[in-house]
C-alpha cells in the first residue's frame, strides 16, 4: 500500500474533483490503518458536511481536534458542523479555540465575525458585540463586518453606536442595501418607542418632546428610504401627536401610495380619516373611512372616527348611533364613550353626557382628553365648580400652546393659602385667545383689589401685545408687563394662568364677578366727532362683526370658526332697520366681504391698531352685533349693549338655553336654530333691530 501521505494526496485530488465517493473510500482506508490521522479525520468530516451528514461530521471533527489540538482548521471544521446542526454555543466555542491559536489576521477576522454571529444567535448580544468589534479591528476595511456589528449593536440596545456604524457603512458604500434597511428600521423602531411612550405613561410635559424626536427619526428614515411605507406611516403618526394635521395627512397619503399589508392599510386609512375630519375635508374623510371599513369590516376605530366625522358635519343623531355601536364593539376603549358623550352634550342631554364621561374616566382615569371634554360639558351645564376643576387638564391635552419657558421657572400659585408667606408677587399670564383674555382679565383686577387679604404684594399681568395698552388703561393696581419685556424670577414669586383663576378662587354660577364695565377705553372724543358727522341725527350707530379668526395653524379652532362665522350676505335682513348706520369692526380675512356688503357699511378698521383703539370706537356705539369672537367680550366688558350670534353647539361660556349672560349684564344671545344655518337667526336679529329694543 502507498504511504499515508500519498493516499491522502490521492483522496484530496478526488475530493477536489468532486469524486466524493472515491475520496471517502480512501479516507476510511487511511483511518482503518491510522485511526488518529488528524488530516484524514478532518477531511472526511468536511466531506460528510458536503453530503449532509452533519452529526457524523461533528464526531469526526471532534476526533481530529483530539488528535491535533493545535490545528486551527480542525476546530473550524467542528464549528462548521455545529453551525449545520444549529448549535451556536458549540460553534462559538470551537471558533474561540481556533482563534486562541493566533491565526493570521484575515482568517482571524472572518472567524471572529462568525463567532460574533453565533453569539448573537445565542442571545448573548454583549459578547457578540465584543467579538465583532475584534473582527472589525482585524479587518477595518471590511464593510460586511461593520454592518454585522451595527446590527448586533442594535440588538444590544446600543443604538447610538449602531447608528454611527450604519452611517459609516453608508459613507463607505452609499446605497448599501443592508445598512440602509437596518438604519431605517433602527430609526423607525426608536420612533415607535417614543410614540408609545408619548401616548401613555409618559411624564407630564414629555409627550410633546418624545413626539418631536419620533418625527425627526421618521423623517430621516423617509429621506434615506422614501419607498418604505412604514416610514411615511410612522412620520404621519408622529406629526399627528404633534398636532400638525396637514403634514401628517400628507405623510399618510404617501404611505398609502406604497405597497403594504391589508391591516397596515386599514390603520393608515383610519388615521387619515381622522386627520381629514380635523382639516375640514369631510368628503375625503368619508372616503378614507369607507376604504378602511372595506379593509376591516366592523372595526371599532372606523366606527369611532366615522362618528367624529358625522359630529363635525352637524349630523348629531347619526353620530350618536354610530358612536353607540363603536362603544359596544370596544367596551374597554374610552374614546368612543368620550366622543358619544360630547355628541350628547351638543344634543342637549347634559345628564347622559355626564354619565358617559364618568364611564370613560373609569376606563382611563388619567386621560387628559376625557377630563377636558368633561370640563366643557360641565361648564356649559352651569356646574362651574366641577367644570373649572376639570378645566385644569387643558394643558395636558396637547391642544394648548406651552407657556413661555421664562414663566415655567416660577412656581404656580394654587390659590389663597392662609399658611403661605405674605408678600407674594404674583404674575398672571394670558394663555389662549384675545376673547378669553378680555373675559377673564377681570380676575387680575379682583386679585389686586383683594391683595392684602390674599397675601399678595403685587399683581402682574402678561397679555397678548394687541391687548397690552387697553389693560394698562383699565386695571389700576395691576402691573401690565409691556410686550416683549423679559420676565425674571427676581421680580416675581409665583405665576398663575389667567383661566385658572376661576378655579383657584372658587367661582360658581352665583359668584361670577360681573361688575361691568371693567375696561376703560382711551379718550373717545375723536370717535364721537367722527360718528356725529357720519351718522345722521336720529340714527343709531351699530358695530358689526361677522367673522372670527380662522386660525389656519390650528385646525380644531379653524373648524369652530367655520361654524361660528357668518357670511356677511346672510345678514342682509338687517337692512330693514332703516334708522341704523352700520360700522364695521371686522378685522382679518373676513373683512374683505365688506366690499360687497348688503347694506351701507362704514369702515374705519384700517385705523384700529389694537384693542384699545377698537374699545374707543365701541364705547361710542349704540349697539354691537357680533359673532362669538373677541369683540363680544370687548363690548360686554365696556358695558355696551352687545348682541352675540351663538352657533348651535355654542361655547361653554354662554351656558345652556340662556338669552342673557351672567358674565356681561348688557349682552344678549341669539342662538342658531339649525347646524350651519344662520337664516332664522338673522331674521330674528332684524326683527329685534327694527323694534329698537337696545338695552
Determine the Cα–Cα distance for residues 194 and 47; give it in Å rounded to an integer. Answer: 52
Contact (CB, 8 A) for 66 and 97? no
186 or 384, greater pLDDT:
384
Walk me through the domains of the chain, giving residue ranges and CATH numbers: 4-181 (1.25.40.10), 197-396 (1.25.40.10), 419-511 (no CATH), 525-690 (3.40.50.2000)
CB burial string 64-78: b at 16+ within 10 A, e below: bbebeeebbbbbbbb
Angle between helical axes of 4-16 and 38-50 (0-180°, round to 10): 20
pLDDT tens digits, residue range 329-348? Answer: 999 999 999 999 999 999 99
Q: Which three cell numbers stand for residue 334?
A: 374610552
pLDDT for the residue numbered 418: 75
What percent of the chain shows pLDDT beyond 90?
A: 56
Lookup result for grid cell 383657584: 504
State yes or no: pLDDT of 122 exceeds 50. Answer: yes
What single-letter DSSP state applies at residue 398? S
> At 622, which helix (H) or strand (E)?
none
What's the pLDDT score for residue 32?
A: 87
Pick the closest to residue 63 from 87, 82, 44, 50 (CA basis): 44
352-364 pLDDT, tens per residue?
999 999 999 999 9
58 versus 422: the higher-pLDDT residue is: 58
Cβ–Cβ under 8 Å, residues 443 and 503 = no
DSSP H or E segment with residue 165: helix 159-172
For residue 153, pLDDT over 90 is answered with no
For residue 221, pLDDT beyond 50: yes
Q: Is the dihedral of CA 344, 346, 351, 353 positive or negative?
A: positive
Distances (CA, A) of 546 to 610, 629, 676: 18, 9, 14
Contacts for 10-15 with beta carbons within 8 Å, 24 or more apart? 11/40, 11/43, 12/43, 15/43, 15/46, 15/47
Contacts of 28 (CB under 8 A, 6+ apart): 44
Q: Of 642, 624, 653, 634, nearest to 517 (Cα)?
A: 634
- In angstroms, the CA 219 to CA 685 distance is 52
- What is the average pLDDT score of the chain? 89
User: What's the grid cell of residue 49?
Assistant: 458536511
DSSP category for residue 431 = -
- Is the per-residue pLDDT at 512 higher than 90? yes
Distance CA 66, CA 63 (A): 5
32-46, 189-203, 292-306, 336-350: segment of lowest average pLDDT: 189-203
Collapsing DSSP to helix, strand or coil, 227 comes out as coil
C-alpha Rg value of the chain to the nearest Å = 38
Element spanning 613, H or E: helix 611-618
What is the average pLDDT across 427-448?
96
**pLDDT value of residue 318:** 97
DSSP 519: -
Phi first, then psi: what are they for 565, rounded to 5°?
-80, 150
Spatial separation of the C-alpha atoms in residues 208 and 392, rounded to whole Å: 18
All 3 cell numbers of residue 284? 375625503
User: pTM for the whole thing?
Assistant: 0.78
Residue 113 to residue 587: CA distance in whole angstroms: 70
pLDDT in tens, 274-308: 999 999 999 999 999 999 999 888 899 999 999 99
For residue 208, CA distances in Å to 200, 231, 401, 456 come to: 12, 20, 11, 34
Q: 3-class SS at 460?
A: strand
255, pLDDT greater than 60: yes
CA–CA distance, 167 with 180 (Å, rounded to integer)? 9
Q: What is the pLDDT of residues 360-400, one digit of tens each?
A: 999 999 999 999 999 999 999 999 999 999 999 998 887 77
Share of residues in the chain with pLDDT > 70 (%): 94
Q: How many CB atoms lie within 10 A of CB 461?
A: 26
Amino acid at each position: 500500500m502507498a504511504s499515508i501521505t500519498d493516499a491522502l494526496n490521492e483522496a484530496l485530488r478526488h475530493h477536489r474533483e468532486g469524486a466524493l465517493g472515491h475520496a471517502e473510500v480512501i479516507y476510511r482506508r487511511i483511518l482503518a490503518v491510522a485511526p488518529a490521522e488528524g488530516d484524514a479525520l478532518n477531511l472526511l468530516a468536511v466531506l460528510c458536511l458536503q453530503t449532509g451528514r452533519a452529526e457524523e461530521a461533528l464526531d469526526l471533527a471532534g476526533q481530529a481536534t483530539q488528535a491535533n489540538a493545535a490545528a486551527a482548521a480542525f476546530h473550524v471544521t467542528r464549528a462548521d458542523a455545529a453551525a449545520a446542526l444549529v448549535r451556536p454555543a458549540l460553534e462559538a466555542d470551537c471558533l474561540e479555540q481556533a482563534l486562541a491559536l493566533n491565526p493570521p489576521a484575515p482568517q482571524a477576522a472572518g472567524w471572529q465575525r462568525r463567532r460574533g454571529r453565533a453569539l448573537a444567535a445565542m442571545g448573548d448580544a454583549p459578547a457578540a458585540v465584543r467579538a465583532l468589534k475584534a473582527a472589525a479591528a482585524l479587518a477595518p476595511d471590511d464593510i460586511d463586518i461593520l454592518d454585522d456589528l451595527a446590527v448586533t449593536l442594535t440588538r444590544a440596545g446600543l443604538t447610538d453606536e449602531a447608528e454611527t456604524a450604519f452611517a459609516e457603512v453608508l459613507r463607505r458604500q452609499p446605497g448599501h442595501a443592508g445598512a440602509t434597511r437596518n438604519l431605517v428600521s433602527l430609526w423607525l423602531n426608536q420612533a415607535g418607542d417614543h410614540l408609545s411612550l408619548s401616548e401613555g405613561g409618559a411624564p407630564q410635559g414629555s409627550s410633546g418632546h418624545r413626539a418631536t424626536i419620533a418625527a425627526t427619526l421618521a423623517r430621516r428614515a423617509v429621506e434615506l428610504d422614501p419607498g418604505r411605507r412604514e416610514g411615511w406611516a410612522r412620520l404621519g403618526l408622529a406629526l399627528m401627536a404633534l398636532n400638525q394635521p396637514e403634514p401628517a395627512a400628507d405623510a399618510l397619503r404617501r404611505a398609502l401610495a406604497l405597497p403594504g399589508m391589508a391591516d397596515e392599510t386599514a390603520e393608515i386609512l383610519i388615521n387619515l380619516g381622522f386627520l381629514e375630519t380635523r382639516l375640514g375635508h369631510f368628503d375625503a374623510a368619508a372616503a378614507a373611512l369607507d376604504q378602511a371599513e372595506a379593509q376591516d369590516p366592523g372595526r371599532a376605530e372606523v366606527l369611532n372616527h366615522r362618528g367624529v366625522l358625522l359630529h363635525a358635519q352637524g349630523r348629531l343623531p347619526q353620530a350618536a348611533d354610530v358612536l353607540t355601536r363603536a362603544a359596544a364593539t370596544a367596551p374597554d376603549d374610552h374614546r368612543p364613550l368620550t366622543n358619544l358623550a360630547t355628541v350628547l352634550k351638543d344634543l342637549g342631554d347634559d345628564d347622559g353626557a355626564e354619565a358617559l364621561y364618568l364611564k370613560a374616566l373609569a376606563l382611563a382615569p388619567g386621560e387628559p382628553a376625557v377630563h377636558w371634554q368633561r370640563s366643557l360639558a360641565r361648564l356649559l351645564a352651569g356646574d362651574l365648580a366641577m367644570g373649572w376643576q376639570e378645566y385644569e387638564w387643558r394643558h395636558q391635552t396637547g391642544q394648548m400652546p406651552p407657556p413661555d419657558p421664562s414663566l415655567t421657572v416660577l412656581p404656580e400659585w394654587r390659590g389663597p393659602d392662609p399658611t403661605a408667606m405674605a408678600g407674594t408677587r404674583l404674575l398672571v399670564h394670558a394663555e389662549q385667545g384675545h376673547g378669553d383674555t378680555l373675559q377673564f382679565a377681570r380676575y387680575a383686577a379682583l386679585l389686586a383689589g383683594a391683595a392684602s387679604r390674599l397675601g399678595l404684594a403685587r399683581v402682574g399681568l402678561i397679555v397678548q401685545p394687541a391687548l397690552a395698552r387697553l389693560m394698562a388703561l383699565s386695571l389700576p393696581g395691576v402691573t401690565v408687563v409691556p410686550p416683549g419685556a423679559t420676565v425674571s424670577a427676581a421680580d416675581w414669586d409665583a405665576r398663575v394662568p389667567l383661566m385658572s383663576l376661576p378655579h383657584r378662587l372658587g367661582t360658581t354660577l352665583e359668584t361670577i364677578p360681573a361688575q361691568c364695565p371693567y375696561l376703560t377705553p382711551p379718550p373717545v372724543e375723536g370717535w364721537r366727532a367722527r360718528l356725529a358727522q357720519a351718522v345722521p341725527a336720529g340714527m343709531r350707530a351699530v358695530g358689526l362683526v361677522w367673522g372670527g379668526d380662522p386660525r389656519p395653524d390650528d385646525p380644531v379652532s379653524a373648524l369652530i370658526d367655520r361654524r361660528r362665522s357668518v357670511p356677511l350676505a346672510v345678514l342682509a335682513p338687517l337692512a330693514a332697520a332703516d334708522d341704523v348706520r352700520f360700522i364695521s369692526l371686522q378685522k382679518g380675512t373676513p373683512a374683505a366681504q365688506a366690499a360687497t356688503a348688503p347694506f351701507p357699511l362704514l369702515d374705519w378698521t384700517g385705523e384700529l391698531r389694537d384693542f384699545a383703539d377698537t374699545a374707543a370706537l365701541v364705547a361710542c356705539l349704540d349697539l354691537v352685533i357680533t359673532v362669538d369672537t373677541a369683540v363680544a367680550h370687548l363690548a360686554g366688558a365696556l358695558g355696551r349693549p352687545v348682541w352675540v350670534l351663538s352657533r348651535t353647539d355654542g361655547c361653554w361660556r354662554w351656558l345652556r338655553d340662556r338669552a342673557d349672560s351672567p358674565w356681561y349684564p348688557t349682552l344678549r344671545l341669539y342662538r342658531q336654530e339649525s347646524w350651519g344655518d344662520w337664516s332664522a337667526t338673522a331674521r330674528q336679529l332684524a326683527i329685534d333691530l327694527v323694534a329698537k329694543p337696545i338695552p
